[in-house]
Structure 1
Amino acid sequence: MKVLHMAPAGTLTEAGFRDSRIGGAQAVAANLIWLLQAWVIASVLASLLTGEAVSEWAMALAFLGLGFVRAALSKSAQQHLSAAAETKIQALRAELVTVETTSAGPSRFGGAGSIAALATEKLETLRPYLLRYKPARLRVMVVPLVILAIAMWFSWAATVVLLVSGPLIPLFMALVGWAAKEASTRQVVEIGSLNDLLADRLAALSDLKLIGAGQQVIADFTSASDSLRERTMAVLRIAFLSSTVLELFSALGVAMIAVWVGFSLLGEIGWGSWGTPLTPFAGIYLLLLTPDFFQPLRDLAAAWHDKSSADAVLEELDSWRSDMRQPLLGAGASVAPLPFKGLTLCDLAYLHKDHRITYPDLEIQPGESLAVTGQSGAGKTTLLRLIAGLEKPTSGRIQIGEVTLSGANADAWRASMGWMPQTSRFLGRSLRHNIGFGEDLNLDVLDRTYVAPIIATLSNGDLTSLGESGAGLSGGEARRVMLARGLHRRPEVVLADEPTADLDADTAQNIIDGLLAYVAEGGTLIAATHDPRLISQMQRQVRLSAGT
């Protein structure tokens, strides 16, 4: 079943659509007001040349009034467009966060770095697209056509010049756009890869330091950053090239009309108008309007690379949406624990990427301890995640007492469970919060898991702040803190994933002692492990083989 997403790429909420529509209309209206201002300027200058009477003060007030209206429209357009852009970006970001926090299993789209990059810096590339490219496209659809109609009223020659030079710009932009889109796509992918590399290396930073791989990590980052720099410069080169050629075409168009107007007013050219000599007003008005005929095209070309970047990001969003992922069972609500009366696995199977894992039928009674063993890749961790409701089985069922595990009772089931992951995960808060999440710490649990001696060595005790990687704690100390977290609420069931992996003998024995003490008090333990010391002291063992 595919995860239901909040909104497809390119859509806006009703308020966002309204802001986008109003902002675009106001941006077009602001540009059209210049045509009236140009008429005022042309009237005043023509009167000075011909000696006709005109009220300078009235014209000045009209020009200033129109300028005020134009400025107000431009400001309002930017406000509406900014609101629409913010609405869309926030909606897409909320969709990303919601789906990632309510989906089971890893995303095939990429790692945590790629998702984080997409939700932050990549989505921000949509802002200039919405603020600049979309209104520029609306202006191109309206303003040049209005100016072309005015030019045709006064002169067929000016109309021909605009008709010849104007379409060359969109044609060139389309040609450049193909290369720009490809370059932008490569740059966006490179950003995600660099973020994934950074996240992976930070997660393994302590291990990398221990094995002396610092220089190799630096070399990897240097190579990745140089590759991203080359991709970015390729995008900028295309953007500068398109702007340069556009300026050439627009300059030639303005120059040709200026030459024709000048020679017509001097009487050297008698053709180009509709059978009557070109008047000073018409000539000046055409000169004032010609740059504005090209300006929307120039704005569109300047924002063309914004469109290329936005298209690349929207393609990534479509790729992320196409990932077939199961929704996480439950809603993550805080509910009363589900009483544990035994666990039954029946005909359980899970499709993992390109192979199917089938599990033996199991019955686990309260107070039992079960070791899940087998070679790496046999599905031990997946089995724990299935039992916890973090993955949904392809077939079969998991029964807790008399009820089948489902979205309706998954939150209550997890509330009765403790979890000890293989990789230690921390919040950037105090040690106390990382164990009890705001609750007072259980002193018996601290002693049983040998965390009390760790707290005694910290400068600020259990209020010592930890980073997301458990800064200040060794690997063994971090694992003991994970065990204390799993046992903090005295759960009825504890799931432990490789609880003693990569630990020295003494620390591993501390972890084993803590787990067995929990079982001795009536707790139910299910541990995925390779450790023969832990396996030998568990009541039962089930061995998984590849695929079965």
Structure 2
Amino acid sequence: MWPLQAAAVAWVVAAWVEGSSEHSAVALLVFAAAALLRAVLDYCAGGYLFKAADITITRERSALIQREARARSAHSSAEIAALMVQKLPLLQPWITRYYIAMVRVAVIPLVLAALCFWLSWVAALILLIAGPLIPVFMVLVGMAAESASRKQMDEIGSMNAMLMERLSAMLDIRLLGAVDRALGDFSERAEGLRLKTMAVLRIAFLSSAVLELFSAIGVAMLAVFVGFTLLGAINFGTWGNTLGLAEGLFILLIAPEFFQPLRDLAAAWHDRAAGLSVASELEDLDAAERVAFVGSGNAAQPLEGPLSIDLAAAVAALPGKALALPDLALSAGQSLALMGPSGAGKSTTLACIAGLLPLKEGRLMVCGQALSDSNADAWRARIALIPQTPQFPDQSLAEWLDPEGRGLDPWPALRMAEAEAVVTGLADALQTRLGESGGGVSGGEARRLMIARAILSGRELIIADEPTADLDPESAAAVIRALLRLQEQGHSLLVATHDPALAAAMDRAIEVAP
């Protein structure tokens, strides 16, 4: 549109200088119509590009969530969260700015140079000399920008991982008096991220300065040529015709537009570097070794047969490593405790028995059948899991306690779990919505609520991971009593614990060696 607008402006100005206003209204109407059409096209193109970016980011985020939920990799959850929340949105400017800038650079400067060449080969030559210098320096600067951007992205991921690690260990940090050191470590990493971000910005400003320098030189040289030609000091470069005021103005008006796509590309070059860093991280995740849980994760009817577990000579298939598991057997109505130091494999053993991790070697028989993709969902339909860290979704306690919506009365289960007073003490009782990690109740109260939920589920096998961890003796005793009531009603218990009192309350205990 701009060459048409530039021609209209040059025509009107030249006519006014010559004392003629003939057809000026037509030229101004052409200018306004072209401006309106350009605005409409820009609006439509912007909407299309942002929609494409939103679709791309949503697709990648959904794929990440689905894959990481079903097939774990060695990457930490903090790194995955940083990628989904902080880094994936960086694809938007890459899509909406960089790609369109590349197309414009490939088309518009050549079209404008051809128009200048039609009027003056010298003007076109000036543009063609000044123009290519910009991409050359952009490539040189861009190589440094890509490296700096990748370092910045890596620092964001590692800083998130460190933050999650420190938050999860906050109680231990405070007990050990290491709060100041933890703050110092975080401050040091934050300073490192600041320096890496500033390095990226310095390169971005450098590329802009280089671009503006060469574009200003190109426009200035063109203005000198046109000015001296109109003054009669230069009489070559116009194919034998005289370069009039209208032609000179037209060349000067389209010269900045010759460099504008290059400006846009330089402005989007950092977007390219950030987008490539995110794409590279996505490719690394695609290629990462990962382990999927057994089964499809869909609802299924409970597996038939008397409840039993037989784990022998088993090795868990963890991302990037294998972990030997203890031999154990459990029958209906029995209770078993797994004891051992942190990292020995207690939680991994529970996850393998629940089919949340596959076995690399060995045998796992459940209800007389080998656990496989065909029966894992049915096996999990007989299991109630009490994880070490409570997780409460955004729903009322009444809905959470009865997830299958069977309309069961929760109060008998709450009394059995010694959690009745916990609910009655809440402002909205069963209509209360707790925070994700159980905000509003203590750790022991959250565990007892989870036991009540397991009771209401009616599932025979209760798997509890460190149910008394971090609890005071009174709260731990209440949790142990609630678990024993479950066993008295015929449930089987399988717990991982460091608590000698809980282990002594079970029928048997197995020591898990690291």
What's the TM-score once normalised by structure 1's chain length? 0.86
**Matches of residues 305-320 of structure 1 in structure 2 within 5 Å?**
305-320=270-285
1:407 deviates by 2.6
1:153 deviates by 2.1
**Matches of residues 183-194 of structure 1 in structure 2 within 5 Å?**
183-194=148-159
Confirm or deny that 1:356 pairs with 2:322: yes
5+ residue gaps in structure 1?
Answer: 1-32
Confirm or deny that 1:75 pairs with 2:43: yes
Which amino acid in the other structure matches residue 49 of structure 2? L
Which amino acid in the other structure matches residue 394 of structure 1? K
- 2:274 partner SS: helix
Which amino acid in the other structure matches residue 418 of structure 2? Y
Deviation track 1:408-461 (CA, whole Å, cap 9, x = no partner) reads 332222121111222233335444444434664533332232212323433333
Corresponding position of 2:352: 386
1:94 deviates by 1.1
**Matches of residues 280-295 of structure 1 in structure 2 within 5 Å?**
280-295=245-260
Corresponding position of 1:475: 443
- 1:131 partner SS: helix
Corresponding position of 2:392: 426
Count how many residue pairs are aligned between Structure 1 and Structure 2.
Answer: 511
**Matches of residues 188-267 of structure 1 in structure 2 within 5 Å?**
188-204=153-169, 215-267=180-232
2 CA distance for matches of 1:483 and 1:283? 85
Would the aligned equivalents of 2:303 and 2:379 in 1 still touch at CA under 8 Å? Answer: yes
2 CA distance for matches of 1:177 and 1:259? 32
- 1:303 partner SS: helix
- 1:125 partner SS: helix
1:135 deviates by 0.7
**Matches of residues 9-408 of structure 1 in structure 2 within 5 Å?**
33-49=1-17, 54-103=22-71, 105=72, 107-111=73-77, 113-204=78-169, 215-341=180-306, 342-352=308-318, 355-359=321-325, 361-408=327-374
1:262 deviates by 0.5
1 CA distance for matches of 2:6 and 2:496? 79
1:255 deviates by 0.6
1:92 deviates by 0.9
Q: Supply the RMSD in Å over aligned alpha carbons.
A: 2.5
1:377 deviates by 2.5
2 CA distance for matches of 1:508 and 1:448? 15
Confirm or deny that 1:444 pairs with 2:412: yes
Would the aligned equivalents of 1:340 and 1:416 in 2 still touch at CA under 8 Å? Answer: no
Kindly tell me: are residues 331 and 353 of structure 1, through their superposed partners in 2, closer, same or farther at Cα, counting changes over 3 Å? closer
Deviation track 1:151-207 (CA, whole Å, cap 9, x = no partner) reads 222222212211221111111111111121122122222222333344444445566
2 CA distance for matches of 1:506 and 1:53? 97
1:89 deviates by 1.1
Deviation track 1:258-287 (CA, whole Å, cap 9, x = no partner) reads 011000111011222333432333222211
Deviation track 1:216-269 (CA, whole Å, cap 9, x = no partner) reads 554444333333232222222221221122111101100100011000111011
Corresponding position of 1:4: none
Would the aligned equivalents of 2:303 and 2:367 in 1 still touch at CA under 8 Å? Answer: no
Which amino acid in the other structure matches residue 360 of structure 2? T
Kindly tell me: are residues 466 and 202 of structure 1, through their superposed partners in 2, closer, same or farther at Cα, counting changes over 3 Å? farther
1:295 deviates by 0.5
2 CA distance for matches of 1:369 and 1:353? 30
Would the aligned equivalents of 2:291 and 2:317 in 1 still touch at CA under 8 Å? Answer: no
1:210 deviates by 6.2
2 CA distance for matches of 1:356 and 1:139? 53
2 CA distance for matches of 1:409 and 1:393? 15
2 CA distance for matches of 1:354 and 1:149? 59
Deviates more, 1:395-404 or 1:74-83: 395-404
1 CA distance for matches of 2:195 and 2:150? 13
2 CA distance for matches of 1:326 and 1:293? 53
1 CA distance for matches of 2:259 and 2:60? 34
Would the aligned equivalents of 2:211 and 2:266 in 1 still touch at CA under 8 Å? Answer: yes
- 1:526 partner SS: strand
2 CA distance for matches of 1:445 and 1:359? 33
1 CA distance for matches of 2:245 and 2:439? 78
Which amino acid in the other structure matches residue 491 of structure 1? R
- 1:468 partner SS: coil
1:293 deviates by 0.6
1:129 deviates by 1.5
1:332 deviates by 3.1
Deviates more, 1:242-251 or 1:222-231: 222-231
Would the aligned equivalents of 1:203 and 1:469 in 2 still touch at CA under 8 Å? Answer: no
Corresponding position of 1:484: 452
Kindly tell me: are residues 377 and 196 of structure 1, through their superposed partners in 2, closer, same or farther at Cα, counting changes over 3 Å? closer
Corresponding position of 1:23: none
1:533 deviates by 2.8
Which amino acid in the other structure matches residue 409 of structure 1? N
1 CA distance for matches of 2:457 and 2:7? 79
What's the TM-score once normalised by structure 2's chain length? 0.91
- 2:300 partner SS: coil
- Percent identity, aligned pairs only, is 43
2 CA distance for matches of 1:169 and 1:110? 41
Which amino acid in the other structure matches residue 234 of structure 1? A
2 CA distance for matches of 1:455 and 1:209? 30
1 CA distance for matches of 2:426 and 2:5? 73
5+ residue gaps in structure 2?
Answer: none
Deviates more, 1:283-292 or 1:224-233: 224-233
Deviates more, 1:197-206 or 1:266-275: 197-206
Deviation track 1:455-495 (CA, whole Å, cap 9, x = no partner) reads 34333334333212222322322332333333331211111
Which amino acid in the other structure matches residue 472 of structure 1? G
Deviates more, 1:184-193 or 1:289-298: 184-193
2 CA distance for matches of 1:452 and 1:409? 36
1 CA distance for matches of 2:86 and 2:311? 44
